[in-house]
Amino acid sequence: IDKGRLMKMPFDRMSLLDHVINSCLVLSNVCLKKQDRVGLITFSNVQGTILPADRKPTQTENILQTLYKQKTDFLESDFEMLYQQIRNKIKHRSLLILFTNFESLSGLNRQMDYLRSIARYHLLLVVFFENTELNKLSKSDAKNVEEIYIKTIAEKFSFEKRLIAKELSKYGILSILSSPQKLTINTINKYLELKTRQAI
């Protein structure tokens, strides 16, 4: 879980990090019921919490206690540090679900080398967020020059989010572009799909 500044963005009176925490609790429960081992790494500009993967019944409580303490930071997240943590701590090929956010293609490109390095050793699924407010603006009717300008900018940002997903796919990295309210169901469905395909 990325706890950097982009995860502070609000949606429906909660931060994106809050939505991620809720989804992780549900997802981890589903994974444990499927007899998969579940662990957790949080990170921002500094090393966060590492909870080693396990399938014991108490792991749900361990995850709950770990997630309860998490807060966002105002700084950029260190993806190089995340890569090093994963290399040091996770020795077997695993499904890694990375909850983060990218607002632009340039933001993704700054981290792409680290994501590609992680994907060399693990099945990487990057989960990032639609900007639902911009999506609404891009679909609204423009009645004057200013509204046309705002609508055009909103469409550009929405299009760029889809480009991010395409760019990840180009390097064999799976992704989910989700609205915060559909995060849990979209992530669980993807996990179940990967299980069915025996990709993990």
**pLDDT of the residue at 136:** 59
**β-sheet bridge partners, residue 174:** 125
By the 8 A CB rule, do 53 and 32 touch? Answer: no
- Our measurement of the distance from residue 149's CA atom to the centroid of its chain's CA atoms, rounded to an integer in Å, reads 30
Side by side, which strands form the sheet with 174-178?
A: 95-99, 123-129, 174-178
The whole-angstrom separation of Cα 89 and Cα 94 is: 12
Q: What are residue 59's phi and psi, to 5 degrees?
A: -65, -35
Sequence-distant (≥ 6) Cβ neighbours of residue 191 within 8 angstroms: 27, 30, 31, 95, 97
**pLDDT of the residue at 143:** 75
The whole-angstrom separation of Cα 38 and Cα 27 is: 10
**pLDDT of the residue at 70:** 83
Residue type, 152: T
- Our measurement of the distance from residue 103's CA atom to the centroid of its chain's CA atoms, rounded to an integer in Å, reads 12
Tens place of pLDDT for every residue, the chain, 200 residues? Answer: 999 998 988 777 889 999 999 999 999 999 999 999 999 999 999 889 999 999 998 999 999 999 888 887 778 999 999 999 999 999 999 999 999 999 899 999 999 999 999 999 999 999 999 876 655 555 667 677 676 656 667 677 788 899 999 999 999 999 999 999 999 999 999 999 999 998 87
